[in-house]
Amino acid sequence: MSEMIEFLKGYEDYFGDWVWEMLIASLVTMELMLLSFILACALGLVIALMRISQFSVLSGLTKVYIGFFRGVPVLVILYWIYFAMPELGYKILLISSFTAAVLGLGIHGSAFLAEVFRSGIEALDHGQMEAALSLGMTPSQALRFIILPQAARVVLPPMANYSVGLLKETALCSIIAVPELMLRAKDVASSSFLPMHAFVLAAVFYYIMSFPMMRLAEHLEAKMAVGR
Amino acid sequence: MEFFDKLWEWAPEVFPFLIKASVVTLQVTAGSLALALVLGIFVAVARISSFKLLSYPALIYTDVMRGTPALVQLFIIYFGLSDLGLEFDPISAAIIGLGLNGAAYVGEIYRAGIVAIHRGQIEAALSLGMTPVRAMRYIILPQAVRIVLPPLTNYAILLVKDTAIISTIAAPEVMFEARRIVQATFMHSVSGQIYLMAALIYMAITLPMSYVAKRLERAKAAWH
């Protein structure tokens, strides 16, 4: 118990500054997470629709895309976009670390979500599509009004789970110098020589951010289970 | 295409280093997986226990491990604990960190597996005169193993990819080695090719695992 107090004493000089700095960095983290999530969803949906397309070229290409980006760590993708792409002569891609992070996390997430969306769509009764088409709807109308709304129910729990994982992946972006929470924690840790205190505080911030999403994911999973 | 020309040009020199580094990747994966599989049992049992003294700490542990980034946990173990006097070499820290993190996930997988087995199975086995050990061995565990094996293989695949983060604490695995090669030789112009090679190595490990995982899922679905 006295060790706990000793430990907490270490925060004395720094707590105020740290909390404030980490709070601001957390905003960047959440911004990063939000943008990557949107990109991953939008791109993932497109990829999923291509994957289930009848054109074998599209479905084959996206199968490779999904297999590749799900089989490599996020870090490799981040490195590639931030460090490697500028070297390859794509000078327009001398992008900021933040943009690289959004692209990296978004592309990695799109591969994951594409599979989620695909199984969500395929889990639906085939009869839905048939009935829609026989009622005279065009395939895209059927998709828009019948298939996707029903598939949305199925994919919400995995999406909520994905968002929790995404929040934690933003910590990796510190490695490509995105000014988010983990980078701030590292800075603070090295300038104060108190790594334990800094990272524990950062962990608290992450936990606070992920808490609502974890509860939402649990809630959605429970709701889905009832519908069986 | 110039990109691929450079790739073939450098691959023979770079690949051996990366393959050697992938041994570390596999070691850390195996070590932390083993740790997670064992600790996960305790976490799961504690979670479903009726003793609040066991289930609450287990719940908090699981929630914290799953709610904070593995990178933060790793840094706490490697940098934080060394500040407090307890030092680890990078690989040990990696195995401990990923293992503790994994115990939470694996614990949840085990818990779902235990809960999924109909209580009636246990009751029926015991009422047939089986001892608890026999009931475990012939009735419960075979069913439980079938249920948890697919999520566990999925987790193992995630774990292989997660080992990339230990490059940040200077563990000599694939990403670390790739970055080291790029920086040490100033070959920034071929960093794209080098990181692509690193990606291919990860795929060489995860693709077979995914194949096995899919086969297991199909076997499990067929069994139902």
pLDDT digits over B108-155, tens only? Answer: 999 888 888 877 787 888 888 888 777 777 887 788 888 888 889 999
| pLDDT at residue B182 in the model | 87
Cα three-residue angle A171-A174-A176, rounded to 5 degrees: 130
| pLDDT at residue A89 in the model | 63
| pLDDT at residue A228 in the model | 45
A215 touches chain B (CB under 8 A): no
Domain that holds residue A40: 2-226
Share of chain B above pLDDT 90, in %: 49
Neighbours of B89 (CB within 10 A): 11
Instruction: Count A/B contacts: CB-CB distance under 8 Å.
Output: 128
* Partners of residue B72 in chain A, C-beta under 8 Å: 171, 182, 185, 199, 202-203, 206
CATH number, domain of B29, equals 1.10.3720.10
| pLDDT at residue A226 in the model | 65
Mean pLDDT of chain B: 88
Contact B189/A87, CB-based, under 8 Å?
yes
Please state the length of chain B: 224
* Contact assessment for residue B75 and residue A195, using Cβ atoms and an 8 Å cutoff: yes
Domain that holds residue B202: 2-223
A153 touches chain B (CB under 8 A): no
In this prediction, the residues of chain A whose per-residue pLDDT falls under 70 are 88-94, 125, 226-228
Nearest to B166 by CA among B66, B37, B26, B55: B26
Give the total number of structural domains in chain B.
1
- Distance of residue A77 Cα from the nearest chain B Cα, in angstroms: 8
Contact B203/A68, CB-based, under 8 Å?
yes
- Distance of residue A148 Cα from the nearest chain B Cα, in angstroms: 25
Q: How much is the ipTM here?
A: 0.87
Contact A200/B76, CB-based, under 8 Å?
yes
Give the total number of structural domains in chain A.
1
B208 touches chain A (CB under 8 A): no
- Distance of residue A73 Cα from the nearest chain B Cα, in angstroms: 5
Nearest to A33 by CA among A178, A201, A186: A178
- Distance of residue B222 Cα from the nearest chain A Cα, in angstroms: 17
pLDDT confidence tier of residue B34, bands split at 50, 70 and 90: very high
* Partners of residue B75 in chain A, C-beta under 8 Å: 185-186, 189, 195, 199
A11 touches chain B (CB under 8 A): no
Scanning the structure block, which residue is given the tokens 């205190």?
A197
Contact A87/B191, CB-based, under 8 Å?
yes
A171 touches chain B (CB under 8 A): yes
| pLDDT at residue A227 in the model | 53
* Partners of residue B179 in chain A, C-beta under 8 Å: 79
Give the residue from chain B lying closest to A170, CA to CA.
B69
pTM: predicted TM-score of the whole model, two decimal places? 0.88
Q: How many helices (H) and strands (E) does chain B have?
A: 10, 0
Contact A203/B68, CB-based, under 8 Å?
yes
Contact A199/B80, CB-based, under 8 Å?
yes
* Contact assessment for residue A195 and residue B83, using Cβ atoms and an 8 Å cutoff: yes
Contact B83/A88, CB-based, under 8 Å?
no
**CA torsion A199→A204→A205→A207, rounded to 10°?**
120
Q: How many helices (H) and strands (E) does chain A have?
A: 11, 0
Q: What mean pLDDT do residues B187-202 have?
A: 86
Of A72, A164, A172, nearest to B71 by CB-CB distance is A172
| pLDDT at residue A92 in the model | 60
- Distance of residue A115 Cα from the nearest chain B Cα, in angstroms: 13
CATH number, domain of A92, equals 1.10.3720.10
A76-90, B20-34, B41-55, range with the lowest pLDDT: A76-90
Cα separation, A102 vs A77, whole angstroms:
11
Q: What mean pLDDT do residues B177-200 have?
A: 86
Contact A168/B70, CB-based, under 8 Å?
yes
Could you tell me the end-to-end alpha-carbon distance of chain B, in angstroms, rounded to an integer?
50
